[in-house]
Structure 1
């Protein structure tokens, strides 16, 4: 093949690659970027992304620490293996006497190799950084709720004067928006109860957050107490009120489910929305109860998993809706 022909082929190949890249950018990358920009321009949607990221980071960090702990336990067990089994761990190596023992303890060799060369310290360092990032996101989300009473006031006005009332409260679960029928007095009563709970919860959370960051001073003593109420107690009461909000939401969902069972015209989309809200509340309720207790009862791995479910369920739907509008 001549140099001219080879050069022509290279030129055609480069042109095809360029066209393929341009096609991918136009048909896949650009629409996704546009969708993400549109979604993140909304405060509530940004909070939903942050919520999912916050708990996902905690989940990954906790999983890394659990894996590291398991590896250390396996290595510790391996070092204690009796010589009569034909295996001895020397440093970071497994020395075997016969082939049978070598096959039997191949998993020990893997664990020992992973535990060596600072692997454990590196995992702990990464997990610490992820947890700090998760905590930072949590602080940002709590800060953004300092003016949450405005959204609650709007929610109350919508409930009082609109046929369809949208729940726009900026609560801890990332704005679990839903509509309720004014025609159903039970649902309306439940929604008013949720408004009342959030009217109390939001200031309690605001005071706890600001006092926790030394923006306001709750007292003059070292325990940072006023009226014998500590910052920790304020956080717990805020979480208990959140739990009350979620339990009321379960009551609302039960009422809507009962009404829907009598209505053959309930759409598939409404059914999907009902189940989505139920799963979100079911994931959030253990978190609210955990933070309502003095010392909590959930490990970080469970907290991360539940929070990721609560955010991820709605985030997937949000991306789907954004894709449908663009399509």
Structure 2
């Protein structure tokens, strides 16, 4: 029997074969990563609103973190003392840069507000209170945006405005934003009242239909769909309430010309809550 050690070894793969295999692995890895990249693209930059929401949450999150780190450094602990002061400063600088970018992007926001006004005129809410709220919100925002634009451009010396004028514009634009937020809270309260009234009317209708078996069967068919719609509406309502409840003290803070109402830590926390509450469903649906 021949010695197996004398059998010839298979030739090594050629450089061309190795390059083909490497390319196939790279292509397979890229194909596997493409769904994740698509989700990131949809969640981050699919629309201007999505981009601004991601930037907003990052901005206030960095501000909150930087202020938190500054406070940690003041604790009487060796690990806290070892924390470099450069980290909070750099985080805050990055947050300020993001804020500037967001304000710059809103220079063209009047176009979207005008479209909102047209849509409100064409399809106004059926309820007279909600219709009045929507009209006032459109008007407040149409005044807010040019003021913010002028303040931003004046602060960057694009418009020949004094520092005092720029400060006034920032204050009055913040007050108009506060008007919008207050009207949002009023709208939510009105929608809550209307929803409760509709629920009571539905309960009366169900009670009246108990005498007719066919009516009960017909109503049961739509109960599941209506229940799902009701849950979605309540979730949206609660989310909007959280967002505007977080916005409200921020708008009052920037509307005051006297001493500030909130600390930078509180502003960072409230802004993160407002942004994150809206960002979570955006990423879930991306």
With the length of structure 1 as denominator, give the TM-score of the two structures: 0.67
Are positions 1:255 and 2:259 aligned together? no
Q: Which structure shows the higher helix fraction? A: 2
Q: Which structure shows the higher strand fraction? A: 1
Deviations 1:173-201 (A, max 9, x none): xxxxxxxxx21121111000000101111
The DSSP-based 3-state class of the residue aligned with 1:263 is helix
Aligned equivalent of 1:61, options 60, 63, 66: 66
Say whether the 8 Å CA contact 2:73–2:80 is kept in structure 1: no
Q: Which residue of 1 is the match for residue 101 of structure 2?
A: 140
Q: 1:271 to 1:66 in 2, by over 3 A?
A: same
Deviations 1:41-72 (A, max 9, x none): 210110000000000000110110010022xx
Are positions 1:207 and 2:150 aligned together? yes
Unaligned runs of 5+ residues in structure 2 are 1-24, 200-225
The DSSP-based 3-state class of the residue aligned with 1:216 is coil
Equivalent pairs counted in the alignment come to 232
Deviations 1:134-179 (A, max 9, x none): 001001100111111111100011111136xxxxxxxxxxxxxxxx
Q: Distance in 2 between matches of 1:273 and 1:112?
A: 46
Unaligned runs of 5+ residues in structure 1 are 1-18, 75-110, 164-181, 219-223, 323-327
With the length of structure 2 as denominator, give the TM-score of the two structures: 0.76
Q: Which residue of 2 is the match for residue 303 of structure 1?
A: 267
Q: Distance in 2 between matches of 1:316 and 1:51?
A: 13
Deviations 1:75-133 (A, max 9, x none): xxxxxxxxxxxxxxxxxxxxxxxxxxxxxxxxxxxx13552xxx24x2x1011111011
Following superposition, the deviation at residue 263 of structure 1 comes to: 2.2
The DSSP-based 3-state class of the residue aligned with 1:230 is helix
Following superposition, the deviation at residue 32 of structure 1 comes to: 3.0
Q: Distance in 2 between matches of 1:214 and 1:113?
A: 44
Are positions 1:127 and 2:88 aligned together? yes
Q: Distance in 2 between matches of 1:273 and 1:321?
A: 14
Which fold has the larger relative contact order, with Cα–Cα distance below 8 Å and residues 6 or more apart in sequence? 2
Q: Which residue of 2 is the match for residue 192 of structure 1?
A: 135
Say whether the 8 Å CA contact 2:74–2:80 is kept in structure 1: no
